[in-house]
Structure 1
């Protein structure tokens, strides 16, 4: 059987497991992320004795808006997407290729964590992935898309990446599940309460973007990458705009109220300054008293940080400080 037929058979089996749960298969997710027909699988023949037809991750390269990216997509239909020695090696290889090519890496997360059957080998694999995340930090954009459980050892790597997209209802990030919490504390808690979008999108600030479904998540990843350079050694793409860079923005003359006790929406200021009134907010559901977003001025990408008077009068508290500092750090690196 050809490699193409093997991939098709594997995908059909995965769909039968994933679709009833309201989730897509690993291959379907890659197809949504990348430009049509651009995906080239890497190490498809690297398998283990337990899974001779394919391991619990699919790795490869492709393009987004014609620019190269590397991707790994965890396959929950195979041993719960658990990470063993072979899975770790495949992920590390594609991360190395992304670093060598100075191209972004996108990790699609759907894993129950370490493969306990492999013991210390699995934990060592996680340690190597964390180390590689740190090595790539500030060099190439690292993006995580949480479209299933990211549990146990699988939860740490996303937190080391630059941006986390989390899908409502199916994407969860937690170190230990509800069963362990119940045993230790006696508290009943659901997976969603423990590590869902409410916990990480609005309270902890771990997730940068909350998405209603997988299609939205991958469309937003593509949009985010349009603002970013391929690496810290390159410049972001320049877009043609019809806005006159010498235009007068008269609305700004009367936007700020004379009464200091009356708030106003800082987004009105931003949207009237940037190209085509277009901005892409980051962590828009967390620390609402400060705005962090990507936009363009005269076709060039800019990072925007602004106090938001509509929330807590725009004062800077701990959460706002952390949100802004992390955004500044990313902009400084790239």
Structure 2
């Protein structure tokens, strides 16, 4: 006899509603407890929280409403009929994060190892449909062993339904995947379809085929973390946007990210009171950026000086570090920042940087977040590897993303802006609403030295002193085509501004652009470069 059968049979007076309520409370308590203390201790021993503990950290206290807590699978065979726990290994529902509705589902690794079966998948499908209909973000707390083998193709079909809904929700509601345990095989594709992926070091891994299969097929010997751990995906593959040391910090950062995002694509991000004066002069910028184009500096320091209270959330911090993508607030409103990073590879654009920035621009555009682009780029990275790897195709992704974006867009040339990379980095010619430059700017087809060697190669070769002639030609090119006001004289930038006024000018410009309206041609969808 099962526990629930025992409860039903011993409940006094079947006609007494109070008895039925007592029966309900007993069943609900059973569902809340899960598989028992031993399974919970095993979860904690791995350094992992339970599904309900995770939901408690993610949502505002006391706001979680569970959906289908009493759902159980109907599968038979392989011993499944003798084991039918409530929730079927996934907890679904909604609650509040900073007072706004968020939908969530969390795998319960204590039940079937969090593996997905038919009933399990149906619960996820339902909560995803509810999130799309309600126009609210969806957060998945992933800790599962993939498809439930005992249920065969029914489990696989469940994943298909999740993928289809991930795609339908893309660009409609924010989707965040939090990896808090293993995620292998086809299950890894759902996080890859969402907007942001969080991982926890040592406890979460993602891979299509595990270390055993890799060794059997290729002979390579590698650990789970070495193959698909948090640092691998955050710094090498680019699959994960964030990596943290513990679940508590990870979930707190998910809450912070949600505070910067709108509920859906029909709304704007919530405004926060701006305690940082909007007209604050940024005197520190004069010392942060060296005028000499070859000298590196940290663009993060520039961002900190400009945004409200110096606070921002960097996306993909450890991948493609030659470009920075971040969310911050200016005048209390969320803004997306794309910036070259001279401290890494001189801020050059390469394949990974182009991909990283392109997807971020697309996200900002989908969710009505204005884009600020800080430019200090010497060009695209040359080399056989880049060309054979498709730098043209990948660079075009960033170009397409900017050209397609209809949100307010402001670009600021801080120092170098050379060649095609300047055009790609949201120049006026590809649709930036406003373009500014500091007096240290150098906007040109290429650097003066390279240009002089091309334009004046005959004069230099015929000269009695080639080095002196080259120096003269370089100076001539700089004086005529690379002085700070050349682009402004031709209307390619709207103004050359004092760096100390940067914050004030950006805030006033964004206030003006807040009512911007732009339409794209009628079409089913574009066909961006892949």
- Shorter chain as denominator, the TM-score bin is over 0.9
Deviates more, 1:248-257 or 1:191-200: 248-257
Deviations 1:99-130 (A, max 9, x none): 11000000000111111111111111111110
Gaps of 5+ in 2: 1-22, 75-79, 368-530
Equivalences, count: 334
Q: Once the 2 structures are TM-superposed, how far is the Cα of residue 11 of structure 1 from its aligned partner? A: 6.5
Q: Tell me the equivalent position of 1:46.
A: 71
Q: Distance in 1 between matches of 2:294 and 2:217?
A: 48
Deviations 1:271-301 (A, max 9, x none): 1111111111011011111000000000000
Match of 1:8 among 18, 32, 35: 32
Q: Provide the aligned C-alpha RMSD in A.
A: 1.2
Q: Distance in 2 between matches of 1:300 and 1:201?
A: 28
SS of the equivalent of 1:254 reads: helix
Query: Would the aligned equivalents of 1:11 and 1:25 in 2 still touch at CA under 8 Å?
Result: no
Match of 2:334 among 277, 301, 304: 301
Q: Tell me the equivalent position of 2:91.
A: 58
Q: Tell me the equivalent position of 1:156.
A: 189
Query: Would the aligned equivalents of 1:6 and 1:53 in 2 still touch at CA under 8 Å?
Result: no
Identify which of structures 1 and 2 has the higher relative contact order when contacts are C-alpha pairs closer than 8 Å and 6+ apart. Answer: 1
SS of the equivalent of 1:73 reads: strand
Query: Would the aligned equivalents of 1:140 and 1:231 in 2 still touch at CA under 8 Å?
Result: yes
Q: Tell me the equivalent position of 2:57.
A: 32
SS of the equivalent of 2:263 reads: coil
Q: Distance in 2 between matches of 1:293 and 1:141?
A: 16
Query: Would the aligned equivalents of 1:11 and 1:27 in 2 still touch at CA under 8 Å?
Result: no
1:43/1:36 CA distance change after superposition, 3 Å: same
SS of the equivalent of 1:187 reads: coil
Q: Tell me the equivalent position of 2:354.
A: 321
Q: Tell me the equivalent position of 1:134.
A: 167
1:282/1:267 CA distance change after superposition, 3 Å: same
Q: Once the 2 structures are TM-superposed, how far is the Cα of residue 199 of structure 1 from its aligned partner? A: 1.7
Q: Distance in 2 between matches of 1:19 and 1:185?
A: 35
Q: Distance in 2 between matches of 1:289 and 1:57?
A: 39
Deviations 1:212-255 (A, max 9, x none): 11001100000000100000011111011122112221122332
Q: Distance in 2 between matches of 1:198 and 1:255?
A: 30
1:11/1:32 CA distance change after superposition, 3 Å: farther
Q: Distance in 1 between matches of 2:232 and 2:291?
A: 38
Deviates more, 1:253-262 or 1:241-250: 253-262
Q: Distance in 2 between matches of 1:181 and 1:62?
A: 41
Is 2:226 the partner of 1:193? yes
Select the structure of larger CA radius of gyration: 2
Is 2:287 the partner of 1:254? yes
Q: Distance in 1 between matches of 2:136 and 2:250?
A: 20
Deviates more, 1:15-24 or 1:141-150: 15-24
Query: Would the aligned equivalents of 2:35 and 2:110 in 1 still touch at CA under 8 Å?
Result: no
Q: Once the 2 structures are TM-superposed, how far is the Cα of residue 303 of structure 1 from its aligned partner? A: 0.2
Q: Distance in 2 between matches of 1:189 and 1:28?
A: 32
Q: Tell me the equivalent position of 1:21.
A: 46
Q: Once the 2 structures are TM-superposed, how far is the Cα of residue 25 of structure 1 from its aligned partner? A: 0.7
Query: Would the aligned equivalents of 2:231 and 2:243 in 1 still touch at CA under 8 Å?
Result: no
Q: Distance in 2 between matches of 1:137 and 1:46?
A: 28
Query: Would the aligned equivalents of 2:35 and 2:85 in 1 still touch at CA under 8 Å?
Result: no
Q: Tell me the equivalent position of 2:379.
A: none
Q: Tell me the equivalent position of 1:113.
A: 146
Q: Distance in 2 between matches of 1:240 and 1:247?
A: 16
Query: Would the aligned equivalents of 1:208 and 1:283 in 2 still touch at CA under 8 Å?
Result: yes
SS of the equivalent of 1:41 reads: strand
Runs of 4 or more, structure 1, over 3 Å off, are 11-14
Gaps of 5+ in 1: none
TM normalised by structure 1 equals 0.97
Q: Distance in 2 between matches of 1:11 and 1:317?
A: 50
Query: Would the aligned equivalents of 1:112 and 1:152 in 2 still touch at CA under 8 Å?
Result: no
Q: Distance in 2 between matches of 1:56 and 1:274?
A: 43
